Structure formats: structure tokens, C-alpha cells
Chains A and B, each alone.
Chain A
Amino acid sequence: MKIQTTTEGECLVVAISGSADVNASAVLREALLSAIEAGSTRVVCDLGETDFIGSDALGVLITAYLKATGRGGFVKLANPQTHLTEVLETTRLNCLFDVYPDVPGALASV
């Protein structure tokens, strides 16, 4: 898994590529939570290149969501491909997160 962050206006876009499996979730946790704690509380996760996600990484996204919303910000999800969309629907996390078909759509919603 690779994580690339860019800033778009007041938002931090976190592009997660590869497999967000249990062994990668610690890296994801560090990247997201440290950014939020440093003040980047408006976060869009670009899942366009994420080919796998397990429950550990889902837990990281939820923890980031709680931390960001607790500070007046948000974590939005963008561009999940078929398998990730199915996971979000199966877990009903699409009811917790705002999910957008692409990053510009997520940014435009802010």
C-alpha cells in the first residue's frame, strides 16, 4: 500500500493505493491520524487505486472520521471501485461516510 497526500484548498486529499490489509493499516493509521492531529481535519480519501480493504483499515477510517468530526472537520471517501463499494455497502459504512464517485465531487461538496 502507498499513501500520497496533496492539499486542495483547505482539504487534505489522501490517495491510498494498493491493499489496505491488516499489515498496512498501521501505516494508514499513522498517516491519517497524525495529519488530523496536526490540524488537517478536512480529509478526502481517494480510494480509486485501493484494491483491497480489510476490517482493520475500515476501523482506521472510522477512527479518523471520529477524530476529524470531533474537531469540526470531516473524512469523506471518493472513487471507491467495485469491490470497495461492495464492502462499504455490506458494512453499511456508506451510511456513516459521505461517499463520492470522484475526488472533484468530494471537494465540490465542501
Chain B
Amino acid sequence: MTANLPKTDDRGAWIERVLATNLAEIRPAERDVLARLKELAYDDDHLFAVRLAFEEALVNAMKHGNQSDPNRSVRVRYRVSPECVEICVADEGPGFNPGAVPDPTANENLDKPCGRGIMLMRCYMDKVEFTPEGNEVLMVKNREP
């Protein structure tokens, strides 16, 4: 199942990229999205938040979703309007239950080196929704709080 993205509307068309499962693909993808934010004069806080959430989503998709399998791809769709940034990241893995991920801010988990990606995505974006299968996530960051 794929995220139920709205079609082209007054926020413009979605841009789609298919990335290989290779961490080196992340920086160019980030650069494309952040360039659109800069064109529309989003501030540094938005740039940082979107970069962080996008990177975490891509790392999750490549490492955990696609299990670093170079034969699998990550599909990215995004659009940036003056009002908000919308990013969808889908992997080809079996999915997971995001609700089952332990809270990394709990005292007993503070010294765990992993497990902060989803929490950071949720904290830095205004909306984070996974498909029921858990292998696709839609994130939205509004310009206004």
C-alpha cells in the first residue's frame, strides 16, 4: 500500500526520485530538497528540521527497510510550496510497526546507540504518518507553527 498523496493541486506537482540503496545517495537527495526550501526563503530552523527528518527517513529506509540490499530501491516524492514541505519515502522492505519501537528518551534507553530516528522525525516535523505496513512514511513540515 502506498501513502495516499494528494494529486497535483494548488501546492504544485510532486517531484519523484528513485534512489539506490546506498548511503552516498542521501546527500544529493537532501541537496535537491533543501535547494527548493532556500528558493522559497525557508529559515535555518526549517532547513535543519527537514534535513534531519529526511536523513533519518532515508537511513531507516536503506538500512532497516531495504536491509542495505543494493538491489532494492528507495522511492522519494516531495514537493515544497510556500506553505509547507511534504516528503514521502518508501522502501522495498517488509515494513515494521513504528509503534513497537522503544522510546529512546526513556532513562533505560539513553545509552543505546540506536533507535532515535523515528523520534527525531516526529519531533522535527509537524506530521509523520506511516502506511499500515510501515514501509512508507509521509512527513510534513509547515512554514508556520
Contact = CB atoms under 8 A, between A and B. Distances in A.
Given A91-B105, A93-B110, A56 B27 contact: no
Contacts of B23: 22-23
Interface in A26-62: 52, 54-56, 58-60, 62
B26 interface: yes
Main secondary structure on chain A at its contact with chain B?
helix
A23 B27 contact: yes
B111 interface: yes
B59 A96 contact: no
Interface residues of A, number: 22
Given A55-B59, A91-B120, A62 B112 contact: yes
Interface of A: 21-23, 52, 54-56, 58-60, 62-63, 65-66, 83, 87, 90-93, 95-96
24 contacts: A21-B26, A21-B27, A21-B55, A22-B23, A23-B23, A23-B24, A52-B51, A55-B114, A55-B120, A56-B59, A58-B116, A59-B113, A62-B111, A66-B111, A83-B44, A83-B45, A83-B48, A90-B119, A90-B124, A91-B104, A91-B119, A91-B120, A95-B107, A95-B110
